[in-house]
Chain A
Amino acid sequence: MTPTKFVKPKSLKQTYHNYCPGCGHGIIHRLVAEVIDELNIREKTIGIAPVGCAVFAYDYWDFDVSEAAHGRPPAVATGIKRVLPDRIVFTYQGDGDLAAIGTAEIIHAANRSENITVIFVNNTVYGMTSGQMAPTTLLGQKTLTTPYGRETNRDGYPLKVCELLSVLEGTKFIARGTVTNPKNVIQTKAYIKKAFIKQIENKGFSLVEILSMCPSGLHMTSLETLKWVEEELTKFFPLGVYKDV
């Protein structure tokens, strides 16, 4: 048997990433790139990078990418897709971008069933700004702005985006995966692929939430973060397909 050669997806540039060791973005960028290659849509894809750690995504992917103001990628994607309906348009957003400052844009893009795909990376913390509480921070979780742990009476509850969006009629595919081990990586890639296929088939809005690792923001080692995401985070944010219509 010939050993499988490790090849870089065409949709990924040959460059170093700025991400911290143990960060999940590198894996997720690659999964998106692999899916775009496999679906043969690289030449008609336009991606939107968020404000947050993934802001530099346009330096890593090798297809057309724009930045967007914080929280606004779904509106920017709408503006592209409405005038170029035959292109593949996706946003890549973190938990602060999508679930805090950009809640209006994501809910209305989903509700209009914009024919776009959203890759939502949830690592429960604002990585870029040094680890503040995110809307998805777990109860009791310590962050820069919840030094004694997140409390419901002050900070409310972690926001469950997949559950929230799946009740909207406009959403056509909603799933939550993670990238903590090869099995989960393979499953998450399948979700991403399915989400892009929904768009290619003009079915409407698709979103994949990915529970990811931020060792720097969580103040854990890479291995501890993997374990925490897999054992703790998935309890509150269960993995699986929330909607597929």
Chain B
Amino acid sequence: MKKILQGNIALCEGAIDGGLDAYYAYPITPQNEVSAYFAEVLPKLGKVFLQAESELAAINMVFGTALTGKRAMTTSSSPGISLMQEGISYLCGCELPCVIVNVMRGGPGLGNISGSQQDYFQSTRGGGHGDYYTIVLAPFSVKEIYEFAKESFLLAEKYRNPVLIIFDGYLGQMMEVFDTESDEGKLNVKIDEPIDKSWVLDGAKNRPSRKIHSLLMAEGELEKLNLKLKKKYDKIRRDEVRVKFYNVDDAEVCIVAYGMSARVSLEAMHRLRKEGLRVGLIRPITLWPFPYKEIKDVAKKTKKFLVVEMSLGQMIEDVKLAVEGEAQVYFYGRSGGSLVSSKEVIESIERIL
């Protein structure tokens, strides 16, 4: 079936189709369509919608629902996600699955309400305190927003870890036609063994009581947890990297971009190809785990990379780490909620060719 949906609404429909049980959030632009939609729809489906008194409360309500093994989600935008970082650290420490969505806006501080990609560092480096990661998905179309939202609960439960979906305000507000039946944009999360729910708190009936905590005071206990988490993160790094290549085989220059920047870069690439220039595009779909190895492989042949971001250069650090000095890494970015244009990307390519 063909559908026309706004990115933020596709997110809601994906989450519902993915089995969402409860949604908690605090108002913030540019993602208010999400709360408005859920407020109307979730009660009719017998699911929980609750407007929290703050992002702090929202993420901790998510924590509460996650404790019971039910599927909880919150959405916010950059400043609100900053407020949630303590809670996200607790969710990771307690290994609780849930889905958090950041419809990014410009910063720092209150910034503005335009779309941006300035929260890359915060998203991919844990974001809060302690040695942890969240799985970070970066959709670049309305269809991908739908599919990622739908499968994110499964991915979160597979690893007992929060999944963070990030896209910018432009993509959230954009309307696009998509085919609900097509396989395009699916994450295809593989489930090797049944999802373990032996840890949930739902009352100690006919079983010993359970406790969930991240406070580990006895000598060596916290390190044991950190090493257990590391093992999990290594498995995620091995099994869950997702990246898309466009015309990289013969590329003289390869653009690396995600989300909205990747859409713009894709158009720039097509236009340059028409002119006979050998330009390719690498689009990381998982920002954590980052496709280091996949980019390194491309760097064996392609010696020039252009990283395009709606920030002043955050993902570029990962691209540099990936190529390990085997290629030149250039950068083009706009900040403060400004959108990169295909013309600007083309000019940047022409400068480095």
Contacts and interface: CB of A to CB of B under 8 A. Distances in A.
A38 interface: no
A72 to B, nearest CB: 4
Given A42-B204, A46-B201, A67-B94, A59 B211 contact: yes
Contact of B60 (A59, A62, A69): A69
B203 A104 contact: no
A80 interface: yes
Interface centre among B22, B64, B67, B72 (most CB of A within 10 A): B64
B213 interface: yes
A28 interface: no
B185 to A, nearest CB: 29
B210 A64 contact: yes
Interface string A40-69: 001111100100000100110111111111
Given A64-B204, A68-B63, A79 B72 contact: yes
A78 interface: yes
Contacts of A227: none
A67 B65 contact: no
Given A104-B54, A108-B57, A55 B201 contact: no
Contacts of B90: 67-69
Interface stretch (A81-89, A144-152, A228-236): A81-89
A77 interface: yes
A79 B211 contact: no
A63 B61 contact: no
B209 A64 contact: yes
Contacts, number: 127
Contacts of A82: 22, 48, 50, 61, 64-65
B213 A67 contact: yes
A11 to B, nearest CB: 9
B61 A62 contact: no
A80 B67 contact: yes
A81 B67 CA distance: 11
B57 A105 contact: yes
B209 A61 contact: yes
A207 to B, nearest CB: 17
Among B57, B62, B87, the one with the most A-chain Cβ atoms within 10 Å of its Cβ is B57
A206 B203 CA distance: 20
A21 B53 CA distance: 39
A29 to B, nearest CB: 14
Contacts of A62: 204, 209
B243 to A, nearest CB: 34
A174 interface: no
A75 interface: yes
Contacts of B204: 42-43, 62-64
A47 to B, nearest CB: 9
B24 interface: yes
A166 B346 CA distance: 65
B202 interface: yes
List the 7 shortest-distance A-B pairs measured between CB atoms, nearest first: A79-B64, A75-B60, A79-B61, A58-B211, A108-B53, A67-B213, A44-B203
8 contacts: A43-B206, A46-B202, A63-B203, A65-B212, A78-B61, A80-B68, A82-B48, A82-B65
Interface of A: 42-46, 49, 55, 58-59, 61-69, 72, 75-84, 87, 104-105, 108
